[in-house]
Amino acid sequence: MDIGIGLPGHAPWSDGRALVEWARRAEKRGFSTLSVSDRLVWSTPEPLIMLAAAAGATSRIRLLTSVLLAPLRTDHALFAKAVSTLDRLAGPDRLRLGLAPGVREDDFVAGEADYGTRGKRFDLLLDRLAAISAPGDPVGPRPATPGGPPLLFGGGSAATLRRIATHGTGWIAGDATVQDVQDFVPRLRRAWAEAGRAGSPRLVASVMYALGTDAEQAVSDAIGPYYAFAGEEYAQYGISLAHTSPEQITTAITDFERIGCDELIFMGNDPDPGQVDRLADTIGL
C-alpha cells in the first residue's frame, strides 16, 4: 500500500511558502502522493494553483486533488485547459484528479453556481475534460499524460458509482474509517464489473493526522472550525477520528492495508513542515 501526505490547507496556515516546503519535504522523504483539498468558503488554497506550485518545487511525487469540487468550475473549457496545463507542468503520469460534487451549499452561493443542478454540470464537465485529450480539440494544450490525468471520485451515491464505472480509475474516501471503506467496496466492485471494466478500481483513503506535543491542539484548531458548519457533535466526531500518536498512525496503516486499500493519505492539520518529517520518521520513510 502506498502512503501519501496531504497539505494542511484547511488548517490556520498563513505562509504559502511553508506549503511549498511541505511538497519538497514530502518528495524528499519518499511519500507516494501530495494531495490538496478544496473549499471556496474557507482559507484552503485553490487546488490547481497549489499543485502548480508543488509541481515546480518537485519532480517525482504524484499530485492529487482530494477532492476538487468540480461543479464550482462552471467554465468547463477553461477548467479543462487549466488541468491540461497543470499536467504539462508536472510531467506525464504525476497528476491525478479526485473529484466530487460538493455538499456545502454556501460554496455554491459564493461561487454563483446553482446547487441543485450541480450533478448535471459535473457530468458535462467530465465530458469536456475528456475532449481536451482528443485530436482536433480547439482548446489546448493537450495533457502530457496520455488520455489525461486519471480520475478518482469521492462520495457514496449511485451517481458516484456511475462516474467511477464510466470515467474513473477508482474511489477516494475522505476522512475515512476502515468501516466506511468496507461498507462501500462491495457496491463499487459490483458497479465496476457490471460496466465491463477490466481489473479492479483503485481504492484511496485519507485520514487526518498531527504529531508532536501539540498534536491534539493542532487537530482541534484545524478540524473544529472546519466542521463547525455541521454542528458541535459532528465537529467533535471529526476531531476524535484524527491520528495524533505514532501508535495510531501505524495501526491505521495496518488496518487499511488489511482491507485492500491501494493508498492511504495522511492529511496534515498543523502547517509546520516539520510535520512531514515526524510522519516519515514514524512510518520509517
pLDDT digits (tens, 9 = 90+) for 217-240: 999 999 999 999 889 999 999 999
Q: Supply the pLDDT for residue 271.
A: 97
Query: Hey, what's the cell of 27?
Result: 518528495
Q: Cα 138 to chain center, whole Å?
A: 29
Domain count, the chain: 1
Q: Supply the pLDDT for residue 151.
A: 98
Positive or negative CA dihedral for 141, 143, 146, 149?
A: negative
Q: How does the average pLDDT of the chain come out, rounded? A: 97
Q: Supply the pLDDT for residue 94.
A: 98
Taking only the tens place, the pLDDT of each residue in 47-80 is: 999 999 999 999 999 999 999 999 999 999 999 9
Contact criterion met (CB below 8 Å) for 31 and 283: no
3-class state of residue 233 by DSSP: helix
Cβ atoms < 10 Å from Cβ of 17? 10
Helix (H) or strand (E) holding 96: strand 95-100
The domain in which residue 138 lies consists of 2-283
Q: Supply the pLDDT for residue 145.
A: 98
CATH of the domain at 142: 3.20.20.30
230 CB contacts (<8 Å, ≥6 apart)?
none
Q: If you average pLDDT over residues 247-274, what whole number do you get?
A: 98
Q: Supply the pLDDT for residue 262.
A: 98
Q: If you average pLDDT over residues 249-275, what whole number do you get?
A: 98
Taking only the tens place, the pLDDT of each residue in 105-134 is: 999 999 999 999 999 999 999 999 999 999
Return the percentage of the chain with pLDDT > 90, whole number.
99
Q: Supply the pLDDT for residue 142.
A: 96
Q: Please report which confidence band the pLDDT of residue 189 belongs to, taking 50, 70 and 90 as the band edges.
A: very high
